[in-house]
Structure 1
Amino acid sequence: MSAPVADAAEAPAAGKPATSGGWRARVVTPQLPWRVVFIVVLALGLLAPFVLDPAFRLPLFTKYLCYAIVGVGIALAWGHGGMLTLGQGLFVGLGGYSMGMYLKLHEAGPGNVPDFMSWSGVEKLPAFWEPFRNPVVAIIGVIVLPIIVATVLGLLVFRQRVRGAYFAILTQALTAAFVILLIGQQGYTGGTNGLTNFGSFFGINLFEANGQRKLYFVTAGVLLVIFLLLRLVVASRFGRLLLAIRDGEDRVRFLGYDPTVIKTIAFAISAVTASVGGALIVPVVGIINPGMLDIVPSIELVIAVAVGGRYSLAGAVIGAVVVNWARTNFSEDYPSGWTYFQGALFIGVIAFLPRGIAGIVPQVRDGVPVLLKRLGITLPTRSGPPGGPPAAPPPGGAPVLIPGQGTPEAKEAV
């Protein structure tokens, strides 16, 4: 029963030519304006480390890109899958602490414990810390740990058909529990202070201007790769099924698909992107602590995605960069007013720009004809003969009459 539906979903829409080009056409939108935008953004990204101050502005912009990595995962889960994830701080923390543990052990040296453990009276390295002396284990932990947690959570929750606000509250509760656990284990996690004082990142000196530029290129490259991969996911058959589940989960279930598996995979992908973003935040900011993973930062990430456009991966990137840039500059002049401005911004976007910044052009394009129609204004239309080929004569040689073109004799076609 599901095979004809899949074939129909993959067939081109009526009246639209089928597109070709393979994976390249899926990664980069084939329309020329978007290709131009993509090239311009790429060029600006290459120039940014040579224009921005490497001591302050460049690390800030690199941090915004880390948030953008988290944002594209939220856009996949929320915008394309309908799963409002208000607890991405859990997965940011899994990736951040996995990378932070390796960096602390690398700086401590063989046989030594990190400095905060010495201050807390811990003289022997805990067993669960020992594997993170190996950088390969740390990278695997950044990828595997969020997949395991998200898969287990997804299978337990989505199988019970928990969705909407209930799922959002559940993710919030898990994030709060994770933060409480980190704070309570002072000797093993650094407690409220977290893990700090990182001097290098895989051979990159974080105190040098050239090191900050290298870290920027690493972060921008990871963001570009993740963005292109998620575009492939969205344009694939899996992406179309995810959209169908968002718009009508019960109908997809009746057609023979299992929404639990599809939603769990999408949720796991979103968790991995958040974990990778958290792992890169550690060397960029130089710290990872429970305050960065709490409920409020997680909600702020969702607000940024909503402002940029949750239905668009590019909109999520734009929202993460713009909102965090606005917070930095607005807080410099009005430190106590940013929270109110952020709330008003979120309400304004939900009320007047439901598609976010990325949806301004389509919203204006669709709304202007409706507005003109309500005002009684009729736009002039192009007149003239139809551009299609003339009608073919029916079998038997019967004449075909074309109205308005000469005499009846001239209207006959052989």
Structure 2
Amino acid sequence: MTIISRYRAWVGFAVAAVVLFGVAPAVLSDFRLNLLAKFLCFAIVAVGIGLAWGRGGMLTLGQGVFFGLGAYLMAMHLKMADAQLRGDTVPDFMQIAGMRELPGYWAPFADPLTTIVAILVVPPLVAFVLGLGVFKRRVKGAYFAILSQALAAAFAILLIGQQSIGGSNGLNRFRTFFGFDLSDPANKQMLFFIAAGVLLLVVAATRQLMNSRYGELLVAVRDQEERVRFLGYDPANVKVVAYAVAAFFAGIAGALFVPIVGIISPADVGIVPSIAFLVGVAIGGRTTLLGPVLGAIGVAWAQTTLSENFPSAWTYAQGLLFIVVIGFFPLGIAGLGKLLRPRAVATPPDPEPESSREEPSREKELAR
């Protein structure tokens, strides 16, 4: 890593910090700022997908699973905290459903520290176990993509059938966030700052991984897996780490999504959201660091804008945009700079002077 690249990275982080912490709160309304906070959660997921897919070649179509795990763990704690404020033993939706006893697996999430630890540990742990089972069997390519997508569908169906965690309606109507009133605009702005800070930390950590020895090994596994295995490395272990890191980011994003948006349901963690995460990464540029971030935010913003003006047109616009990018700009929007950059024309070497060509023949004649 050269000094110039480090300088550019620091300048980029400084500009992003000024935009997120200074410009955005000053020019956006409370509603738009809350929307941007939601988009930042999607961008955190996209950074992990960029690492696993762009660098590792793993087409992760099931990131909604890990996003949902983090989201539901946070939602369970928020519902428990609200019940404690009211002096109840069970959350409000359980009372409506006629449940009078709290399920045993809900009890630990009354503690904030336990909830935070679970959010940070459970999604990457699940990804680690799944990754070992999949990558050790050398499942890759389209087979891995289909398997991960089936996992997202199964997870959403499982949540629909569990009335103890809201069923198809999910969990909503949260009043507090670790003691802070969620109806207060100042606290909503605080959530935006938290999401912005987490995004910057995630991007910085991913950049460090990409520029490390592990990042080079991950790219080598993507391009020449058998050659890496021949050199004595186990490609499965390399993939498992990237898969777990992507799940770690998705779990954090899901946990932040819940207090920002105020609801989590099976519709937010199934196949469609998982594909939407991937579309943003593909459009932004999966092989770059900032491409997934910009793509996720841009696609989410376009979806919101078009849905407000043309409710039925967004699905077609999203599909068309995805086809155009994949078909004509495989590197995404971030790769347009490489396509527009003028290529240097290779100049042929200067011909050798006639005198230098004749010298060897003269030496041979003298030798004779």
Task: Tell me if TM exceeds 0.5.
Answer: yes
C-alpha deviation, 1:201, in angstroms: 1.1
- Alignment map for 1:213-252 (pairs within 5 Å): 213-252=189-228
The answer as to whether partners of 1:102 and 1:135 remain within 8 angstroms in 2 is yes
How many angstroms apart in 1 are the aligned matches of 2:340 and 2:324? 16
Q: Deviations over 1:280-320 (max 9, x none)?
A: 00000000100001101110110000111101121111001
1:98 aligned to which of 58, 73, 77: 73
**Alignment length (residue pairs):** 344
1:364 matched to 2:344? The reply is no
SS in 1 for 2:105: coil
List runs of 5+ in structure 1 lacking aligned partners: 1-18, 382-414
Per the alignment, residue 389 of structure 1 pairs with: none
Relative contact order: is structure 1 or structure 2 higher (C-alpha 8 Å, sep ≥ 6)? Answer: 2
Letter in 1 for 2:226: D
| TM-score normalized with structure 1 length | 0.80
Per the alignment, residue 52 of structure 2 pairs with: 77
1:314 matched to 2:293? The reply is no
2:230 aligned to which of 254, 274, 298: 254
1:143 matched to 2:120? The reply is yes
C-alpha deviation, 1:213, in angstroms: 1.1
How many angstroms apart in 1 are the aligned matches of 2:246 and 2:11? 28
How many angstroms apart in 2 are the aligned matches of 1:111 and 1:337? 45
Letter in 2 for 1:173: A
C-alpha deviation, 1:30, in angstroms: 2.9
- Alignment map for 1:212-361 (pairs within 5 Å): 212-361=188-337
List runs of 5+ in structure 2 lacking aligned partners: 348-368
How many angstroms apart in 2 are the aligned matches of 1:215 and 1:348? 35
SS in 2 for 1:129: helix
How many angstroms apart in 1 are the aligned matches of 2:16 and 2:261? 24
Per the alignment, residue 5 of structure 1 pairs with: none
How many angstroms apart in 2 are the aligned matches of 1:250 and 1:222? 36
How many angstroms apart in 2 are the aligned matches of 1:31 and 1:229? 17
C-alpha deviation, 1:42, in angstroms: 2.1
C-alpha deviation, 1:36, in angstroms: 4.2
Per the alignment, residue 363 of structure 2 pairs with: none
Letter in 2 for 1:189: I
1:159 matched to 2:133? The reply is no
How many angstroms apart in 1 are the aligned matches of 2:61 and 2:80? 32
C-alpha deviation, 1:131, in angstroms: 0.3
Structure showing greater radius of gyration is: 1
How many angstroms apart in 1 are the aligned matches of 2:209 and 2:49? 14
The answer as to whether partners of 2:59 and 2:145 remain within 8 angstroms in 1 is yes
| TM-score normalized with structure 2 length | 0.90
C-alpha deviation, 1:35, in angstroms: 4.9
How many angstroms apart in 1 are the aligned matches of 2:6 and 2:210? 15
How many angstroms apart in 1 are the aligned matches of 2:75 and 2:133? 30
Q: Deviations over 1:4-34 (max 9, x none)?
A: xxxxxxxxxxxxxxx566xxx8xxx3364x6
2:6 aligned to which of 3, 26, 30: 30
How many angstroms apart in 1 are the aligned matches of 2:26 and 2:332? 30
Q: Aligned pair in 2 of structure 1 residues 31, 349: CA closer, same or farther (>3 Å)?
A: farther
Letter in 2 for 1:140: V
Residue range with higher mean Cα deviation, 111-120 or 125-134: 111-120
Q: Deviations over 1:223-242 (max 9, x none)?
A: 11111011111111111100
C-alpha deviation, 1:37, in angstroms: 4.1
C-alpha deviation, 1:112, in angstroms: 1.1
Per the alignment, residue 57 of structure 1 pairs with: 32
The answer as to whether partners of 1:204 and 1:214 remain within 8 angstroms in 2 is no
The answer as to whether partners of 2:38 and 2:260 remain within 8 angstroms in 1 is yes
C-alpha deviation, 1:358, in angstroms: 1.4
The answer as to whether partners of 1:146 and 1:275 remain within 8 angstroms in 2 is yes
Residue range with higher mean Cα deviation, 254-263 or 37-46: 37-46
Per the alignment, residue 409 of structure 1 pairs with: none
1:118 aligned to which of 95, 99, 107: 95
Aligned residues: percent identity?
A: 52
SS in 2 for 1:105: helix
Larger proportion of helix: 2
Q: Deviations over 1:144-195 (max 9, x none)?
A: 1112211111111001100011101111111111111111011x11011101
Q: Deviations over 1:317-373 (max 9, x none)?
A: 1001111001111111111010010001011111221111111112211xx438xx7
How many angstroms apart in 1 are the aligned matches of 2:181 and 2:91? 19
Q: Deviations over 1:38-74 (max 9, x none)?
A: 43332111221222111x1111000000000000000
How many angstroms apart in 1 are the aligned matches of 2:75 and 2:300? 23
C-alpha deviation, 1:264, in angstroms: 0.5
